[in-house]
Chains A and B, each alone.
Chain A
Amino acid sequence: MNGGRLRWSLVVSALGASVACASTGSDDVVDHPEIRELERRALGVAQPYPAATLSAADDARYARSKQARRELGWSVLAKALAPVTIAAKLPAAANKTGKFEKTIPLFRTWFGGDEFDRMFAKMYGDLGKERRKAKSTPTLQESEVLFGWNASALGPNSEEEYFARLALITDKPGVDGLGGNARVAYSPGYVKHLLTEYPAIQGCEGKLETFSADTPPISEETNFTNCFSSEFPADAVAVKMSWRRNDALVTAGLPVVDTTAASLAKRLKGELDGGGWSLKGLPMKAAGPDEAYTVKLSDAAGYSLVGLHLMTKELRHWVWVTMWWSDTPNDDFGQDRPQAIAKLGPPWNHYKMNVITDFEEKDPDPRGGFKGTLGDALAAVHAKATWASNGFIEKGPHNAQTNCIGCHQHAGDVRALDRVLTEFPSQGREKIRRGFPSDYTWAFATPASPDQKDRLLDVIVSRIKTYDSDDEAPSH
């Protein structure tokens, strides 16, 4: 390798250096989330997330117990990582290189932002002029048909190109590559909610600038949002991923992020990297597909998953799970890895996990009842507010001191984003809002920035406007 290192700070550039919250645990995106038609057809229909039915009592229990919370977090991961067989039948030649599973983790079947765009355009057009005028929403059956269409349409591509794409798959990373290397993905439940909520979402256009922490929601009891007619369903999940190039071209390995108690204590005191994370200068460790989840894309580029956020709506204020790759996977946040993950086999035994479900840390035990390095690490981050941060995903000063939920509470309030880390108490970790305009989802809208983040509100509104102008045009 030859010097020439190019530093890209797209997120920072987009939102200002102090606004790392935007990248913190948010489901917004820097690069195109891309699952092209070719790969989608090979993957098949996006698989629903099997949400647990949890009660308010469960919510309180998780808030009070780190142990219960961690069990929840691992169970969320186990469901999201469960293998799903892909739809495509690979050419016989694919097996010549050795047998390999034609499966992909469930969350890897989920939708990219570009697919939401495609599907909303299709759905809205198919409604027809009268139903569009009536702000009709698709029926359940129509939604299923739409998802099926998305999984089979080839767009501008030909059948030959589809089979040529399949022919590139010669190993398991090739199968996993069908899910791409984008930064975000949305579960079917998440997407379905947005598709059917389009009239309410459209009604929020132009109002985002008016929201403040004191703005009351539609209903504190039943709908704490301002832009939806109902909150997301339990099977709504948003995922944010961090990938590292890991192939024949980049052989340095993966960075080793230290999440020991000693290291975390320093970060929380601001003694390391300004209270943030830095991947620069970290030791690197070689990791093959058995040590790190690795995908091979159509251009043969290999990437390994090093960080993953999952936010599921199984609890009203979401379950915030974060997972990261480690070369010491059984220490600290990997110490209590349950059998459900272990039985998934490699590479998932190389990831650590943390989870929060509330703003406040209501477990009085700093160690959460854990012995060993996990107890040490939990104690190191124990405070009045909960803690969850991922060294591979959060960037910038103070972003190792955050908890995901604190930033995401402001989602939809585009003016709040710049202030989260610098102005709000406890680096933004405390609950300060009455309502949650877009139900904790930053993908709904973020302030204007030059990158190509998902802004699903804009996707919906611009599409509606396009049709409106056609619908209102005099007929020939």
Chain B
Amino acid sequence: MALKQKHGPRGRIDRAPWWSEDPVHEAFRSTGTARMANISALIRVAHCGTHGAQAPDIMRKLVFTSLVALAGITLGLACTRGDPLGTAGADIVTDDDLARSALTILGAPQLPRPSGEAPSCAFTGCHSINPIGLRQWQTQYKNAMDNLTSDRSKADKINYFRQNPQDPRTGFTPERVGILTAGAHLALGANVNPTRHPETYKQGKLLADLFAGQDALYAEFRKEMLMPVLTDYPRLTASEYETVLTWFQKGLPRVDEIIREERPTVCVDKFDDLRARTIAVKNQTWAAKNKSNRLAMLGCAAPNPDAPASATTCFGQQRDGKDIFPKAADSTFARGWAADGSTIRVLRQFSNPNSFWVRSSADGRFVATGGGRGGGAQAMDLLATLEGKPARDIALQASYDPDFWPDNKAFMFQGGTKFCAQSVLAKPTTTSVSFTEPECSSLSAASGLYQTVGQVVGDNSIGDRFILYSIWAGDSGQYTSQARDTKPRAGADSGIKIFTAIAQGNDVEEGYQVSGNGFDINTPYRGDTMMGRSGKILGSRWAYEAPEGPVVPGVAGAECAPSCIWSAQCANVTPGASLVCTARGESCSTGNLCQPRGPVGPVASGYAIEKLDYQVIDGKYRFTTSSLGNVCLKGNKANFSFDERFLATHHYNEPSDYVAGDDPAYAQKGSSDVFVVDFITGKKQKVTKMGPGQFALYAHFRSDGWLMFLVVDQATNTYHVAASDWAIRQTETAPTP
């Protein structure tokens, strides 16, 4: 299930839970397993009575058979395809049954599907099925349902589901709904039966009512919620979703027992090998190669190796006596942005909001992102800005996740996984890209989300291209004071998958061919992996275990309210205290007692940096990884510079990040900043100081070291491309030995 997921604001529960009038849920939460069995039986009868005559599906039968075996219950095979809940539900007599059924459907590796069964979620490039990720979906789902059942206006409820709830121009994003996205496609369709799929039906009804009279908008919502995004993986049937949803609503009972983990808990910086590696490869990076090839960088003077100009002088062009790309320091709204003696240039304001991350071409000419006025994605040509021409925003028939190859010749997008020669953007006549152009083609053989790309550096004029997918946490941007770094979701089953696109020749039509099915490498507890441009270094976020907070005075022993893990619902508990069940993850419905705890302590944050080696064996690329070091830093997905010396990310500021003297408005408006780590010096630098309500996001580099990033200014609802020269200055101050 490729859930393009982001974190939304968390609302407090100050009203009756949305399921309070739901008989099925009432049954689940009131008395536990006994009632559960009755309800399951009821579901089975209703379900099979309706659809028992459906054509049998062997694959689903296999699942069913497996479930029966797991439960140890010998019931007749009454139901088949389209009917898993009917069958599974019949077998679900305990929380353990429910958990195993749901986890099997979701694809947890601990409960492998029978051989031959199509995979579900647990594949590289999609989601790791582990307690952390599941709880995030649960929280998001709960918040979404709170929103749906709230007394907000319809417009506000709808906008809640957008990437930027304050900006109705932005698209809908699955991270606002959590697990609901896995059933959004079902709506109130013919396969959803209110008796057999009551929760699915209820959810569909809520949404249908919300969007009543706005069919086009509802269609857009459902389209953008469609999960899995990738067509390679089957979407859940109504019955499957009903099972999964039920388990989520029960608080994911037994998840920690079924998926046992040994997560790391502590981050320790390790720079020695990183520094050595950076020195060793300094002439073998794409930065060196592009410099040697005299790649013309946008906004810079023509390269002159005999009298090289500092790249910090780039973007200095003027028109009518004014900087075309103004320094942040010279503008009112950006005056304080540049930190540590660096310069930040504001390169362009977007004509349309972005959607998901932003990436730039190696020469910095094109800046691409999801969103835009048409097509679903956009690429802005900064050369037009430089030349004083009208804004040239190319509409792309794609969704999100652009990335550009370091040779400045090709780019790809998700939303069908598409690939084009960069020349299609540069062609002056191009106003939109449908991806049917001769320069483009589908990359569906190498599909996924949140990819990064790399390319072999060497004397090959058409070096092989790599595409890397990993387990990820959605990162669509957040723009409130509640915004926090996306929680890493990697589990024990996390991994990366690397595809290789191989040049057939150096003539036009020969093009590239994706080789094989991709190469898998297990990366336990590491996700959001980004590949360095040479394809020889990886940076992944560690998904550390959250340490439990200390027990604080409270009303220990109070009986848990249903799903206490979702929020503080234990009775007589000090407001603000965080509650967990006495046995973590156990369902309240089993009658566990709650024990109040203090706020959960700080979670370790950091990145694993690994060396990626490859060689061709038996006609295929084989990859291996080895550790290069560790960088402890808060942040989100991180990107390497072209010289592979710097790692950059953005971080949503938390209250503790603000210091005395900071504008009090930060508390209400929040902000995010860009951070860069230098592998040579070990320095970790916050290179921006955004104002209240200003969010610097998606930092990435162009070939000469300018650090590009998106700025969202909530006060004006405007979106900007900005660039910092901090890394260039750092290199000039402390050259790579």
Contacts and interface: CB of A to CB of B under 8 A. Distances in A.
Q: Do A and B make up one complex?
A: yes
Contacts of A5: 441, 511-514
Contacts of B510: 8, 244-245, 279
Interface string A1-44: 11111111111111001000001000000111111111100000
B496 interface: no
Given A9-B508, A13-B427, A303-B506, 16 more contacts: A2-B516, A5-B511, A8-B510, A9-B439, A31-B462, A35-B459, A37-B292, A156-B292, A182-B461, A243-B507, A245-B510, A279-B507, A393-B507, A449-B426, A452-B408, A452-B409
A279 B507 CA distance: 10
B502 interface: yes
Contacts of A298: 458-460
A114 interface: yes
A241 B616 CA distance: 26
B341 interface: no
22 contacts: A1-B516, A4-B501, A4-B513, A5-B441, A8-B421, A9-B508, A13-B438, A114-B293, A118-B305, A242-B506, A245-B502, A245-B503, A249-B619, A279-B509, A297-B458, A301-B456, A307-B507, A450-B422, A450-B427, A452-B408, A462-B302, A465-B302
A180 interface: yes
A242 B302 contact: no
A228 interface: no
A459 B28 CA distance: 76
A57 interface: no
A21 to B, nearest CB: 14
A389 interface: no
Nearest to B438: A9
Contacts of B517: 2
B443 A4 contact: yes
B98 to A, nearest CB: 38
Nearest to A395: B508
Contacts of B293: 32, 34, 114
A9 to B, nearest CB: 4
Nearest to B284: A161
B445 interface: yes
A interface SS class: loop
B431 to A, nearest CB: 15
Interface of B: 283-284, 288, 291-294, 301-302, 304-307, 408-410, 419, 421-428, 437-446, 456, 458-464, 500-517, 615-616, 618-621
A248 interface: yes
Contacts of A278: 509
Contacts of A392: 507
A157 interface: yes
Contact of B421 (A10, A303, A465): A10
Interface residues of A, number: 76
Interface string A176-211: 010011110000000000000000000000000000
B611 to A, nearest CB: 17
Contacts of B426: 449-450
A220 interface: no
A12 B301 CA distance: 29
Contacts of B444: 3-4
Nearest to B302: A462
A30 B283 contact: no
Contact of B619 (A182, A251, A466): A251
Given A4-B513, A250-B513, A10 B508 contact: yes
Contacts of B443: 4, 6
A395 B509 contact: yes
For B307, B505, B509, the residue with the greatest tally of chain A CB atoms inside 10 Å of its CB is B505
Contacts of B283: 156-158, 161
List the 5 closest pairs (A to B, CB-CB), nearest first. Answer: A4-B445, A450-B426, A4-B514, A6-B512, A9-B438
Nearest to B462: A31
Contacts of A242: 505-507
A247 B284 CA distance: 24
A87 interface: no
B292 A181 contact: no
A299 B423 contact: no
B74 to A, nearest CB: 42
Interface string A135-171: 0000000000000000000011110010000000000
A303 B500 CA distance: 17
Contacts of A31: 409, 461-462, 506
Name the residue in B293, B456, B459, B517 with the highest tally of chain A Cβ atoms < 10 Å from its Cβ. B459
B438 A183 contact: no
Nearest to A277: B509
A181 B445 contact: no
A402 to B, nearest CB: 16
A32 B461 contact: yes
Contact of B509 (A1, A9, A247, A250): A9
A338 interface: no
Contacts of B509: 7-9, 278-280, 395
Contact of A299 (B424, B460, B516, B620): B460
A278 B507 CA distance: 11
A450 B366 CA distance: 12
B461 A180 contact: yes
B514 A3 contact: yes
B298 to A, nearest CB: 13
Interface in A436-465: 448-452, 462-463, 465
A249 B502 contact: yes
A7 B441 contact: yes
Contact of B446 (A4, A12, A23, A32): A4
Interface string A230-249: 00000000000111110111
Contacts of B421: 8-10, 13
Contact of A156 (B288, B409, B502, B616): B288
A243 B505 contact: yes
Interface in A397-439: none
A306 B446 CA distance: 29
A470 interface: yes
B439 to A, nearest CB: 5
Contact of B439 (A10, A157, A181, A249): A10
Contacts of A155: 292
A245 B504 CA distance: 5
A462 B421 CA distance: 26
A8 B512 contact: yes
A36 B292 contact: yes
Nearest to A118: B305
Contacts of B307: 466, 470
A94 interface: no
B464 A6 contact: no
Nearest to B445: A4
B423 A181 contact: no
A437 to B, nearest CB: 24
A12 B438 contact: yes
Given A250-B502, A450-B423, A466-B302, A23 B460 contact: no
- Which of B283, B301, B500 has the most chain A CB within a 10 Å cutoff? B283
B513 A8 contact: no
Nearest to A33: B461
A247 B294 CA distance: 30
Given A244-B504, A393-B507, A6 B460 contact: no
A151 to B, nearest CB: 16
Contacts of B616: 247-249, 300
A23 B508 contact: yes
B641 to A, nearest CB: 17
A393 B564 CA distance: 70
Nearest to B501: A6
Interface in A270-306: 278-280, 297-301, 303, 306
A63 B423 CA distance: 40
A395 B620 contact: no
Contact of B508 (A11, A156, A297): A11
Given A8-B421, A13-B423, A301 B507 contact: no
A213 interface: no
